[in-house]
């Protein structure tokens, strides 16, 4: 696994992504399949172009673009976001996840909307993202000729519009602290104070009330905590992703969840007669 953490790979043809692919291809071990996992805010098309408009087109074959859809929360007006719709438009396979949380009517509405935006797309249903690998790998669905014909138009549009995911108002708020959270204050922040425009959050949390490390995951209006043992010095690391967020306010709200600094006690000894 090779993690890219030095920049965005979803807005332009990205040199760091190209270099990472070359590192993998140059290994002595034979590579059977390369999977690129993006963030939930990635525009698929620039990533496609990274493989079609560089020398990588002679070394790799694009197999398919897979889009995972939260069936419970996704709507045709999803966050009023162009990115969400582009993930549908460029998806060769759409996985409707969490189907156990919606009824047949909602599933049918989603399928009709998806097929209206992408002809010939394959749609699979899943719970917890479980789909047989044979249905996802080695399927040869990417229409390279169509994408190559769009390269010039894409570059012109990006140069004129200066497009980036921030244009949709998305922002990430990060928080770290070497002090533990008060569990009840943190729960109150998540349930009562956190803006409804926070769509995703995750982190490693340290609570004063527990000696365990807690892995925090939030998606939409649901969150969960899983506990295990600390392998490092305890600390809090948290990131929230949402739209049009007040970064300063959220930082203050999270800081208020921390336990107080330990009070310093000063001893003053009386003057002794000897």
pLDDT top residue among 192 and 7: 192
Please give the mean pLDDT across all residues of the chain: 85
CB atoms inside a 10 Å sphere around CB 4: 14
pTM, two decimal places: 0.73
Asked if 155 contacts 11 with a C-beta cutoff of 8 angstroms, the reply is no
Residue 210 has pLDDT above 50, yes or no: yes
Domain that holds residue 112: 15-165
Q: pLDDT tens across 89-140, in order?
A: 899 999 999 999 999 999 999 999 999 988 889 999 999 999 999 999 999 9
Query: Is residue 147 domain-shared with residue 112, that is, in the same domain?
Result: yes
Give domain status of residue 5, yes or no: no
Judge if 57 and 153 occupy the same domain: yes
Quote the pLDDT of residue 264.
56
Least confident of 28-37, 74-83, 199-208: 74-83
| pLDDT tens profile 20-29 | 899 899 988 8
Are 124 and 29 within one domain? yes
Q: Are residues 128 and 143 in the same domain?
A: yes
Please indicate, yes or no, whether residues 156 and 36 belong to a single structural domain of this protein. yes
Which one is predicted more confidently, 254 or 165?
254
pLDDT at 186: 96
Q: Work out the average pLDDT over 43-62.
A: 88
Same domain, 114 and 136: yes
Calpha distance 163→11 (Å, rounded): 8
* Domain co-membership, 174 together with 143: no
Residue 29 shares a structural domain with residue 95 = yes
Write the DSSP symbol of residue 38. -
Does the pLDDT value for residue 183 go beyond 70?
yes
Residue 181: which residues within 8 A CB-CB, separation 6 or more? 205, 206, 207, 208, 236, 257, 258, 259
Q: Is the pLDDT of residue 274 over 60?
A: no
Domains of the chain: total:
2
Instruction: Answer yes or no: is 89 within a domain.
Output: yes
Q: Is residue 242 part of a domain?
A: yes
Residue 220 lies in a domain: yes
Examine the pLDDT at 251 and tell me if it is beyond 80.
Answer: yes
The reply to whether 4 falls in a domain is no
Cα distances (Å, whole numbers) of residue 86 to 118, 193, 214: 10, 31, 34
The last residue of one of the domains, among 138, 165, 192, is 165
249-265: average pLDDT: 84
- Asked if residue 271 belongs to a domain, the reply is no
Q: How much is the pLDDT for 81? A: 72
In a domain, 80, yes or no: yes
- Is residue 86, in this structure, part of any structural domain at all? yes
Does 220 share its domain with 124? no
Burial classification of residue 175, based on how many CB atoms lie within 10 Å of its CB (0-12 exposed, 13-18 middle, 19 or more buried): middle
Pairing of strands 236-243, 198-206: antiparallel
Last residue of some domain: 165, 191, 216? 165
CB-CB neighbours of 170 under 10 Å: 22
Q: What's the N-to-C CA distance of the chain in angstroms?
A: 71
Q: Once rounded to an integer, what is the mean pLDDT over residues 47-75?
A: 89
Tokens of 183: 């569990």
Answer yes or no: do 188 and 143 share one domain.
Answer: no
Same domain, 235 and 142: no
153 and 30 within one domain: yes
CATH number at 149 reads 3.40.50.300
Query: 84 pLDDT band (50/70/90 cuts)?
Result: confident
Residue 237: CATH number of its domain: 3.30.1220.10
Instruction: With cut-offs at 50, 70 and 90, classify the pLDDT of residue 162.
Output: very low
For residue 133 the two structure tokens come to 């690998």
Q: Would you place residue 227 in the very low, low, confident or very high pLDDT band (cuts 50, 70, 90)?
A: very high
pLDDT at residue 193 is higher than 90: yes
Model confidence band, residue 45 (pLDDT cutoffs 50, 70, 90)? confident
């Amino acid at each position: 696994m090779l993690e890219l953490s030095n920049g965005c790979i979803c807005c332009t043809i990205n040199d760091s992504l190209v270099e990472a692919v070359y590192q993998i291809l140059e290994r002595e071990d034979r590579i059977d399949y390369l999977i690129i996992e993006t963030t939930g805010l990635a525009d698929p098309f620039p990533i496609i172009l990274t493989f079609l408009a560089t020398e990588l087109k002679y070394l790799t074959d694009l197999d398919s673009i897979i889009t995972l859809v939260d069936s419970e929360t996704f709507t045709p007006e999803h966050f009023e976001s162009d990115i969400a719709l582009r993930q549908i438009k460029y998806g060769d396979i759409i996985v409707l996840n969490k189907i156990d949380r919606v009824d047949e009517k909602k599933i049918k509405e989603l399928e009709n909307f998806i097929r209206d935006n992408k002809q010939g797309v394959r749609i699979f249903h899943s719970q917890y993202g479980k789909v047989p690998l044979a249905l996802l790998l080695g399927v040869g669905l990417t229409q390279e000729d169509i994408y190559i014909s769009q390269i010039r138009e894409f570059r012109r549009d990006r140069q004129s519009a200066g497009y980036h995911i921030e244009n949709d108002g998305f922002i990430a708020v990060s928080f770290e602290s070497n002090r533990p959270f008060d569990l009840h204050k943190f729960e109150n922040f998540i349930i009562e104070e956190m803006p409804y425009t926070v769509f995703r959050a995750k982190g490693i949390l340290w609570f004063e009330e527990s000696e365990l490390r807690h892995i925090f995951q939030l998606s939409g209006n649901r969150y969960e905590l899983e506990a295990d043992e600390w392998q490092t010095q305890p600390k809090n690391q948290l990131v929230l992703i949402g739209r049009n967020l007040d970064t300063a306010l959220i930082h203050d709200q999270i800081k208020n969840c921390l336990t107080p600094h330990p009070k310093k006690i000063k001893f003053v000894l009386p003057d002794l007669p000897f």
